[in-house]
Amino acid sequence: MITATAPGKIILFGEHAVVYGRPAIAVPVTQVSAQVTITETGGDFVIEARDQNRTARLSELPDDDPIAAIVRKTLTALDETATAGATLIIQSTIPIAGGLGSGAAVSTAIARALAAFYKRELDAATISSLVYEVEKLHHGTPSGIDNTVIAFGKPVYFARGQPIETFNVPTPFRLAIADTGIPSPTKIAVGDVRAAWQADPAKYESLFDRCGEIARQARALIESGQPDGLGRLMTDNHAVLREMGVSCPELDSLVEAAMRGGASGAKLSGGGRGGNMIALVTATSEGCVREALLRAGARRVILTTVKASNVKRDLSLA
- Kindly state the smallest distance separating residue 193's Cβ from ligand PMV, in Å: 8
List all residues 6 or more positions away from 201 whose beta carbon is below 8 Å from its beta carbon. Answer: none
Report if residue 16 touches ligand PMV, rule: CB under 6 A.
yes
- Kindly state the smallest distance separating residue 131's Cβ from ligand PMV, in Å: 12
- Kindly state the smallest distance separating residue 190's Cβ from ligand PMV, in Å: 5
The smaller minimum CB distance to ligand PMV, of residues 19 and 298, is found at 19
Q: Near ligand PMV by CB under 6 A, which window of 42-50, 236-244, 268-276, 307-315?
A: 268-276
Q: Are 182 and 275 in contact (CB under 8 A)?
A: yes
Report if residue 146 touches ligand PMV, rule: CB under 6 A.
yes
- Kindly state the smallest distance separating residue 285's Cβ from ligand PMV, in Å: 25
- Tell me how far apart the 2 most distant CA atoms of the chain are, in Å: 59
Report if residue 142 touches ligand PMV, rule: CB under 6 A.
yes
The smaller minimum CB distance to ligand PMV, of residues 22 and 73, is found at 22
Q: Are 165 and 310 in contact (CB under 8 A)?
A: no
- Kindly state the smallest distance separating residue 68's Cβ from ligand PMV, in Å: 21
Q: Are 211 and 14 in contact (CB under 8 A)?
A: yes
Q: Near ligand PMV by CB under 6 A, which window of 45-53, 55-63, 137-145, 147-155?
A: 137-145
Report if residue 18 touches ligand PMV, rule: CB under 6 A.
yes
Report if residue 145 touches ligand PMV, rule: CB under 6 A.
yes
The interface with ligand PMV within residues 180-239 (CB under 6 A) comprises 186, 190
- Kindly state the smallest distance separating residue 47's Cβ from ligand PMV, in Å: 22
Report if residue 99 touches ligand PMV, rule: CB under 6 A.
yes
Burial 2-20 (b: 16+ CB within 10 A, else e): bebbbbbbbbbbbbbbbbb
The smaller minimum CB distance to ligand PMV, of residues 15 and 165, is found at 15
Q: Near ligand PMV by CB under 6 A, which window of 47-55, 73-81, 143-151, 289-297?
A: 143-151
The smaller minimum CB distance to ligand PMV, of residues 227 and 271, is found at 271
The smaller minimum CB distance to ligand PMV, of residues 11 and 178, is found at 11
Q: How many CB atoms lie within 10 A of CB 200?
A: 11
Report if residue 70 touches ligand PMV, rule: CB under 6 A.
no
Burial 172-185 (b: 16+ CB within 10 A, else e): ebbbbbbbbeeebb
**Residue of 113, 117, 124, 150 whose CA lies nearest to 135:** 150
Question: Is 146 a catalytic site residue?
Answer: yes
Report if residue 19 touches ligand PMV, rule: CB under 6 A.
yes
Q: Are 67 and 61 in contact (CB under 8 A)?
A: yes
Q: Are 282 and 174 in contact (CB under 8 A)?
A: yes
CA 214 to chain centre: 19
- Kindly state the smallest distance separating residue 78's Cβ from ligand PMV, in Å: 27
Could you tell me which residues are beta bridge partners of residue 89? 37, 48
64, 65, 79, 146: the active-site residue: 146
Residues with active-site annotation: 146
Binding site for ligand PMV (CB under 6 A): 11, 15-16, 18-19, 99, 101, 142-143, 145-146, 186, 190, 270-271, 275
